[in-house]
Structures are given as structure tokens and as C-alpha cells.
Amino acid sequence: MLTNLLKIIIPTALAFLVGLSITPVATHFFFKYKMWKKYSRSIDATAPDFQKIHNEKEELNTPRVGGIIIWVSVILVVFLYYLVSILFPHSEIIKMNFISRDQTFIPLFTLILGSLIGLSDDLIQIYGKGRFAHDDKSWRNWKVLLIFILSLFIAIWFFDKLGMSSIHIPFGGEFNLGILFIPFFILVTLATFSGGVIDGLDGLSGGVLVSVFTAYALIAYAGNQINIAAFCGVLAGATLAFLWFNIPPARFYMGETGIMGLTITLATLAFLTDSVLVLPIVAMPLLLSSLSVILQILSKKLRNGKRIFRLAPLHHHFEALGWPSYKVTMRFWVLSIMFAIIGVIFFVISK
């Protein structure tokens, strides 16, 4: 038991320290190459409530690729563990290595590829010109298509190579989906990715995702998937290092290179831990943010432009009501911790 705990705690702490260590160099690079958006959202967003809360000067002078710190930290920790296991192939050291083909290769691959897709999106909005640089509807559709293709590949791998075709129903056992497992996996991945709209306030997405990945470390540990638990811990530690510098006033934003890779990886981890139906509880702030956008769009289309919320996503609605951004952020953190705890307890008792 102690070995398993150390196997989780040590790489988690190491990811946090690595993230803190590389941030000064990364920050210098971000500012040297002016890695922030060149076009403000306010060009297209004319709602009075949006104009009231939007800080255009801050948006156009703050790097938006801070998520690089998260996934680079994860890669460095993984590489360090792999290197140590090769140089010192002793039994005790091998036991502490959490890199395994059956548990951590797939989420690591998902994180890297998803983050690189997100980075390409960030670079287009930083250095590009034309409609794609403005993140118009056509480019957003392309992003969804890329996520669809990636999730399709992973779903087929799960179904064909790992033999996964069922999901766990809390208190009800396994439910076999057969070939429908593949579209279900894609749907969950796209839904989780849509929760990335939560990345809109300093410290908001980072704080929420730390709670979510910590919860999944506990879920994996409860399911005796120690390597996955350690990997979730590494994600939480690296995200916590990012959050250290993202607390208001943010030194940089997470950007798509962070939020895209993390949300897609989160969906993959939910399936690997057989807890996909617990994901909406653990990631409730992501779910609420995504639903607020969907409901706002439907309301405008079906009710002649009438809105449900002052603004969407949900965190901007509270800002429009007059809540300071730091209050919105910290209350979302509190809700995230509460739902993470509820989700873990629910998973344990429903097995």
C-alpha cells in the first residue's frame, strides 16, 4: 500500500516542481515572440453585458499558450521515469515506474496529440490572418472535425485492440453496447471537449481541472489502477503548477493547447477507469458551462433572440450580474471540489 501511495505522490509532486521550474523560461519565450491574440473577441461580440466585463487590453497582451507548461511538464516527468528505469533496472525502481502499455500509453498519446492540435489553433490565432485568425465558425467546425477523427481513432483502438464494448452502470453492473461503443465514445469525448468553454477567467479552468484530475486519481486508485492514478496525479500536479502563475492577474492563459488536450484526455481516462457515467458528476462545472452555451444558442433560435442567461458560458453570466471575476472563479473552485468528492464517493459505493 505504501509503495502504491508513493508511486502516485512522488510523480505528482515532481510534475508540480517541473512545471514551476520551466515556467520562467516558457514565460520569457511567450513574451519574446508575442504569443497572444491579435484580434479581440469584442470585434464580433457587441452585447452591452459583454462589453462591460471584457478587458480587451488584457486579452491582447497576455500569452494564450500557457497550456504548453502542463503537457511539457507531463512529458518531462514521463521521460525522466522512463530514463531512470532504463539506467537503474532494479526491482524497486521498476515497481515505482507508472509508465505502462496497458494503462498510461493511450492517455499520454491522447494528451500529446490533442495538445498539438490545440497548439495549432492557438498559433493560427496568434500569427494567422483572415477569418481563421478570428476563430470564425468555419474554423471551429474544423476543430470539431479534428477532435472527431482523433476520438474515432481512440474509440476503435479501445473496441478492437482492448476489447472494450461495455460501460459500467452505477449499482447496475455492466451494459454491453457492442459496436455502439464507438459512437458513444466519440459523443462523450466531444461533450467533454465542449466543456473547455470554461477557460474564460484567470485561474478558472486550472483550478477546476486540478480537482477533476485529483478525483480521477482517487477513482483509479480505488479501482486498483495504480499507474492510471499516478498519471492522473501527474496531470493534476502539472496543472497546479500552471495555476500558480494563472491566479489573477494571470501571467498567461491556458489556451486551446491546454484545454483541448486535457479535456480529451479526461474523457479517455473516464473510459479506462470504467467510470464514464460518473464523469458528469466529477466534471460538473465543465458540464454546466457547456450546457449554458447550448441552452443560450437554442433559446436565441427558438425564442426570437431571447436569452436565458445574461451571457454564456455560465461564468460570464455571473460576471454580468456584477460578481467580481475572482469571486466567480473561487466559487467555481468550491463547487468543483464538492462535486469531485461526491463523484469519488458515488463511484466507490456504486461498484
Arithmetic mean of pLDDT, 171-186 = 95
Give pLDDT, residue 44. 42
- The confidence band for 86, taking pLDDT boundaries of 50, 70 and 90, is confident
Instruction: Please compute the mean of the pLDDT values over residues 196-219 and round it to a whole number.
Output: 95
Q: What's the whole-model pTM score?
A: 0.94
Q: Which residue has the higher pLDDT, 219 or 138?
A: 219
What is the C-alpha separation between 11 and 231, in angstroms, rounded?
A: 8
More confident residue, 57 or 2: 2
Question: Is the pLDDT score of 270 beyond 80?
Answer: yes
Which residues contact residue 204 at a Cβ distance below 8 angstroms, ignoring those fewer than 6 apart?
A: 198, 315, 328, 329, 332
Lookup: cell for 308: 436565458
pLDDT in tens, 26-77: 999 999 999 987 766 544 454 666 666 655 556 668 899 999 999 999 999 9
Q: What is the mean pLDDT of residues 227-248?
A: 96
Where residue 318 falls among pLDDT bands split at 50, 70, 90?
very high
Q: How much is the average pLDDT of 129-150?
A: 77
Question: pLDDT averaged over the chain?
Answer: 90
Percent of the chain with pLDDT over 70: 91
DSSP 158: I
**For helices 137-156 and 105-127, angle between their N-to-C axes, nearest 10 degrees:** 170
Distance CA 277, CA 187 (A): 13
For the chain, the structural domain boundaries read: 2-350
Least reliable range by pLDDT among 49-53, 214-218, 270-274, 282-286? 49-53
Separation in Å, CA 110 to CA 3, 260, 331:
27, 10, 30
Q: Which pLDDT score is estimated for 43? A: 41
What pLDDT band is residue 11 in, cutting at 50, 70 and 90? very high
